[in-house]
Amino acid sequence: MAGPVTRIISDVHYGDHASRVDRLEQLRPLLDGVTHLVMNGDTLDTRSSRFPAHTDECTAAVNAFFPREVASTTFLTGNHDGDFSPIHHLDLAGGKIFVTHGDIFFDVRDPDGHVLTFAAPATDI
């Protein structure tokens, strides 16, 4: 019997007109057999927009879909969804694997335009 499977996916940009994912169900093949899913930022775009209702719909869909499909889901922030999760990085495999969207190493702006500086601890693999 296979052990636990962790899958890391980033930059889905669900709900954005340029995303190739227009239905979350398209991602189901990537979730088969996965016990822990890490959505590594830019899962969707929560930055201020002219269509806040669309953002709210996409947020609700993401929050319902992934936890329903995978037993354990961790959402990390990205530069397009900095307010979507309080988690900016994740250590896996007892600290041997460091997961981050990457934008935490640079100054970025939150949805209200405030500059945020993130610092992340270095981890040796």
For the stretch 31-51, pLDDT in tens is 999 999 999 999 999 888 888
To the nearest whole percent, how much of the chain has pLDDT over 90?
66
> Predicted confidence band at 11 (pLDDT cuts at 50, 70, 90)?
very high
- The SS3 call for residue 24 is helix
Say how far apart CA 79 and CA 124 lie, in whole Å: 24
- Reported confidence tier of residue 115, pLDDT bands at 50, 70, 90: low
pLDDT bin (cut points 50, 70, 90) of residue 102 is confident
Instruction: Please name the residue that has the structure tokens 């995978």.
Output: 70
Would you call 91 helix, strand, or coil by DSSP?
Answer: strand
- Residue 55 near residue 87 (C-beta atoms within 8 A): no
Residue 24: both structure tokens together: 């979350």
The single-letter code of the amino acid at 30 is L
The DSSP secondary-structure symbol of 52 reads H
**pLDDT level of residue 108 (50, 70, 90 thresholds):** low
Residue 99 has pLDDT above 70, yes or no: yes
CB 47 within 8 A of CB 78: no
Q: What tokens does 51 get?
A: 């269509």
Distance of CA 11 to the CA centre of its chain: 7
Q: Is the pLDDT of residue 124 over 80?
A: no
- The pTM for the full model equals 0.80
* Rounded Cα gap, residues 81 and 108, in angstroms: 11
